[in-house]
């Protein structure tokens, strides 16, 4: 709200446009950096890979977590001085060439299946590896973001940990990191405490592990009904579990928590239409610009930035220009009844999994991006 005039000005320069407020990213980074039991912090760049955000988080002491060769290249392009020791590579079903590139760069490589070691023994010989395990359950805000359990493609099932360690040892390699990430937007602070405890048990059994990585997944309050994440309870749980397992360094790799609330998506209303009693406002942004509502039924607050304060309201469905019935940002949203074409519309909390997932479906243009320092 404090940036309204500035945002209206940016919208004038063309929409759809993402805008990221860097002081918000910095504040979230510092809140996490203040949590004592955490020894290493990585930012999952898949959430938002804008160079200014990567540079800010690197300067705040975060390493970077990447999932593809493309993300690795992007990181070193924008942070050429970055030590590869501060970069994690956590791919899923990637081609051999991605692993080759990661080893050549000298970043820390995480593997999550035995078959990769068996198929490419030359590649994984004499390495220090991190192992991603599936603790047998998934959690998170939507079925499509749960990354553990039998139905999920991620992670080595715990029943195969010994087999993995034997295969690695046979290659002269050592498992030095143990990782799990069971989902995104998890609301129970105890989730990470439990995960850490379980991972520490396996780490002890493996013997060579020095770091336990409890992933990301921290939620943010997307709607007024959502409770803000209790960071203090989270930190307390981690302190307790760290005290039980002091031998291991503790790492985290959040994405959403650091960037979601820093970002808004600006668009212009294109048409306002009434059909069978339903009012719809159309935007020049669509599901190609921000996929989360179509992909995960995700909630984002929507505001008419041109008409703030004291307007009589009515319920509108907020839709985009894409030829799919899933191209809906929100149903029955309260907006000024006078909402009209050319009004500037704001979609809130769009800093994570927004621009990075955007595409040109229907030959629509990609959105633009700006940062507010």
List active site positions: 323
The yes or no reply on residue 214 touching ligand PLP (CB under 6 A) is: no
Q: Which of 138, 215, 237, 354 binds ligand PLP (CB under 6 A)?
A: 215
The pattern of x and - marking residues 79 through 118 that bind ligand PLP according to CB under 6 A reads: -----------x----------------------------
Q: Are 29 and 261 in contact (CB under 8 A)?
A: no
Which range of residues in 157-165, 214-222, 316-324, 339-347 is near ligand PLP by CB under 6 A?
Answer: 214-222
In whole angstroms, the minimum distance from the beta carbon of 336 to ligand PLP comes to 33
Q: Which of 19, 44, 238, 283 binds ligand PLP (CB under 6 A)?
A: 44
Q: Which of 15, 108, 113, 147 binds ligand PLP (CB under 6 A)?
A: 147
Chain positions 337 to 366 lying near ligand PLP, rule: CB under 6 A, are: 352
CA angle centred on 356, ends 29 and 319, rounded to 5°: 110
Q: Are 171 and 126 in contact (CB under 8 A)?
A: yes
Nearest to 307 by CA among 269, 348, 260, 275: 269
Q: Which of 256, 268, 307, 333 binds ligand PLP (CB under 6 A)?
A: 256
Question: How deeply is 128 buried, as exposed, middle or buried, from its count of CB atoms within 10 A (0-12, 13-18, 19+)?
Answer: middle
Cα 279 vs. chain centroid, distance in angstroms? 33
Peptide bond into 358 cis (omega under 30): no
Q: Which of 218, 241, 283, 350 binds ligand PLP (CB under 6 A)?
A: 218
The yes or no reply on residue 263 touching ligand PLP (CB under 6 A) is: no
Q: Which of 63, 138, 155, 254 binds ligand PLP (CB under 6 A)?
A: 254
Which range of residues in 4-12, 72-80, 209-217, 325-333 is near ligand PLP by CB under 6 A?
Answer: 209-217
The yes or no reply on residue 216 touching ligand PLP (CB under 6 A) is: yes
Q: Please state, in angstroms and as integers, the Cα–Cα distance from residue 323 to each residue in 318, 327, 333, 347, 361, following that order.
A: 14, 7, 21, 20, 9
What number of other Cβ atoms are within 10 A of residue 142's Cβ? 14
The yes or no reply on residue 47 touching ligand PLP (CB under 6 A) is: yes
For residues 211 and 150, what is the distance between their CA atoms, to the nearest angstrom?
25
CA angle centred on 258, ends 252 and 260, rounded to 5°: 135
Give the footprint of ligand PLP on this chain (CB under 6 A): 44, 47, 65, 90, 147, 181, 184, 215-218, 253-257, 352
């Amino acid at each position: 709200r404090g940036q309204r005039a500035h945002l209206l000005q940016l919208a004038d320069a063309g929409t759809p446009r993402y805008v990221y407020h860097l002081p918000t990213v910095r504040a979230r980074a510092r809140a996490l950096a203040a949590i004592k039991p955490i020894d290493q912090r990585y930012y999952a760049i898949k959430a938002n890979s804008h160079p200014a955000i990567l540079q800010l988080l690197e300067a705040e002491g975060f390493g970077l977590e990447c999932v593809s060769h493309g993300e690795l290249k992007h990181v070193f392009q924008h942070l050429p001085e970055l030590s590869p020791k501060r970069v994690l590579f956590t791919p899923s079903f990637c081609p051999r060439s991605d692993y080759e590139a990661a080893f050549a760069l000298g970043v820390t490589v995480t593997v999550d299946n035995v078959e990769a070691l068996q198929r490419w023994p030359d590649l994984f010989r004499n390495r220090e590896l991190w192992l991603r395990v599936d603790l047998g359950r998934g959690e998170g805000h939507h079925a499509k973001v749960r990354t553990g359990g039998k139905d999920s493609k991620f992670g080595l099932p715990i029943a195969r940990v010994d087999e993995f360690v034997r295969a690695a040892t046979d290659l002269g390699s050592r498992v030095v990191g143990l990782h799990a990430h069971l989902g995104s937007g998890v609301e129970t602070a105890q989730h990470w405490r439990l995960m850490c405890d379980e991972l520490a048990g396996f780490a002890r059994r493996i013997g060579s592990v020095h770091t336990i990585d409890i992933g990301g997944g921290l939620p943010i309050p997307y709607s007024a009904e959502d409770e803000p994440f209790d960071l203090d309870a989270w930190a307390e749980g981690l302190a307790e579990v760290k005290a039980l397992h002091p031998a291991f360094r503790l790492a985290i790799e959040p994405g959403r928590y650091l960037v979601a609330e820093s970002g808004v998506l600006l668009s212009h209303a294109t048409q306002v239409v009434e059909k069978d009693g339903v009012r719809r406002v159309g935007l020049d942004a669509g599901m190609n610009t921000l996929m989360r509502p179509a992909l995960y039924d995700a909630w984002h607050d929507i505001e008419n930035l041109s008409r703030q304060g004291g307007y009589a309201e009515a319920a509108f469905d907020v839709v985009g220009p894409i030829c799919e019935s899933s191209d809906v940002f929100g149903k029955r949203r309260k907006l000024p009844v006078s909402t009209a074409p050319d009004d500037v519309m704001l979609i809130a909390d769009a800093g994570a999994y927004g621009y990075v997932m955007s595409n040109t479906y229907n030959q629509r243009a990609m959105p633009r991006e700006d940062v507010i320092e």
